[in-house]
Structure 1
Amino acid sequence: MTVLFKEPVVISKEQSQWMELRGWVYQLLMDFLSRQPRMSLIAQWCRRVEQKNTIPHSNAGKTLKNYLESIPAGDFRKVCREEAEEYKTLFMGDDAVMKSYESAYLVSGNSAAMNEDSLVEFMCLTGIRNMYLEAGVVFNKLTGERDDHLAMELEFMAVLAGEMNAKEAFRDRCLEIGDLQIRFMESHLLKWVPRFSQDLASATKSPLYKGLSGLLSEFLTYDYQQLCAWRESQK
């Protein structure tokens, strides 16, 4: 039987703020990039962004915060309907503008390389599933989501971020979770999300989804840098 001894990790004030922030940001990205936003969800985030440390003070973070805070009360229902329709156009159905899964950004799309693309997709999905299994994370898929869908990968990071916070008192487990997040970002998220973010920014005129595209790219880079710095500080 494995016994976990309580030897807490050392966390600075700045690192503590980052660890709190990342939970909010992954939740924000998941909420708006995984399903059509309902009016209640948009209203919820309009309130949340007023709180301290729920959205980064980056260019994209400020842009998104300003947009959510500036929606006129009289136009709120109309704006929410427009954003829901924009999500539908971007992400839903066979004619969706965006492909929101990792393997779509790894394959060539060339019919002459179909066999090679199938192998790339298989290896991508296998690698992701192995990391989900390693972490002991099982998703409740309500609509048959792909394991390499952006929403799944972001939720995986959110789950690990929450577990890392909960295991601060157990140094070895906390470091193990941190290492797993770094590997997942290097092996998966950072290999395709920057291009996805650029494509999303080009595909939409919505202030909400333009802001989200910028935040997604900015935050993943920032979060990876912070994770690596935090891990180095624990040596």
Structure 2
Amino acid sequence: MTTTTEPLHTQLQPFFLSRKKYYQLLHLLFSEPANIETLFEIRNNGNIPELEEIHDGGKILLDFFERMTDEQIKKEYEEYQRLFIGPGPLVAPPWESYYRSKEQLLFEEWTYQIREQYHLFGLQYKNENNEPDDHLLLELEFMHFLVDLCLQETMSDRIVELISSQIHFLEKHLTMWVPYFCKRIIEHTNSQLYLGAAMLLEDLLTFDLTTLLEVREALPDVR
């Protein structure tokens, strides 16, 4: 990477494009499966066959999408409600504070840390103060947003800053609670969709953090 004369943003563009695609996939996998079109979009555009070759969660997801029917989608919608929304006690609450608070409460300090990160980049959750800012989908959207900024940026020092911001967000937030969230799903669902999604989510976040650290280490600007 550092021996070529190409600008840094040109060298890193394929890397950022790949990461953007995977964050889009993770967001779709954990969005409400309200209709067949959403699941077909995942099947057709989510690189599932590629993931199937390298990851057990990808294998489970590919099997699900190859057997997908209207009746199965109805069952997945019901499972989504049971796992993440309710009514009743949630199997896998999708908020960071739940896993990091001793009392398993929402709107704890991590919610406000997340909000501060959003505000630093000029972002504000539309339901701020009414719903927690540390929902899984919002945190994945934020990572997707940061990757997009990397794709748009041409200044090397700014790209390095954005990489560091993503490392910080993964280290201090997503990788701190998502493994516990995924564990609850894996232990309490028979759904191929959510079993595969949980396995993939945890491993992709860990892999992304490791890769970003390696990329930053290879950049002369941060030595």
Instruction: Indicate which of 99, 108, 128 corresponds to 2:114.
Output: 128
The one-letter amino acid paired with 1:205 is N
Q: Which residue of 2 aligns with 1:78?
A: 71
Superposed counterparts of 1:187-198, under 5 Å = 187-198=172-183
The one-letter amino acid paired with 1:9 is L
Normalising by structure 2, we get a TM-score of 0.84
Q: CA separation of 1:105/1:17 partners in 2, compared to 1, >3 Å: closer, same or farther?
A: same
Instruction: Indicate which of 141, 155, 160 corresponds to 2:146.
Output: 160
C-alpha deviation, 1:44, in angstroms: 1.4
Q: Which residue of 1 aligns with 2:3?
A: none
Gaps of 5+ in 2: 1-5
Task: State how many pairs are aligned.
Answer: 213
C-alpha deviation, 1:50, in angstroms: 5.6
Structure 1 contact 182–224 (Cα < 8 Å) conserved: yes
C-alpha deviation, 1:101, in angstroms: 0.4
Q: CA separation of 1:191/1:49 partners in 2, compared to 1, >3 Å: closer, same or farther?
A: closer
The one-letter amino acid paired with 1:163 is L
Instruction: Indicate which of 132, 136, 140 corresponds to 1:150.
Output: 136
Q: Which residue of 2 aligns with 1:19?
A: 16
Normalising by structure 1, we get a TM-score of 0.80
The two structures, once aligned, show a CA RMSD in angstroms of: 2.7
Distance in 1 (CA, whole Å) between partners of 2:8 and 2:127 is: 34
Distance in 2 (CA, whole Å) between partners of 1:192 and 1:122 is: 14
C-alpha deviation, 1:90, in angstroms: 0.9
Q: List structure 1 segments (4+ residues) > 4 angstroms apart after TM superposition.
A: 50-56
Gaps of 5+ in 1: 1-6, 111-116
Distance in 1 (CA, whole Å) between partners of 2:48 and 2:29 is: 19
Instruction: Indicate which of 220, 226, 234 corresponds to 2:205.
Output: 220
Q: CA separation of 1:61/1:20 partners in 2, compared to 1, >3 Å: closer, same or farther?
A: farther
Distance in 2 (CA, whole Å) between partners of 1:128 and 1:90 is: 23
**Identity percentage over the alignment?**
30
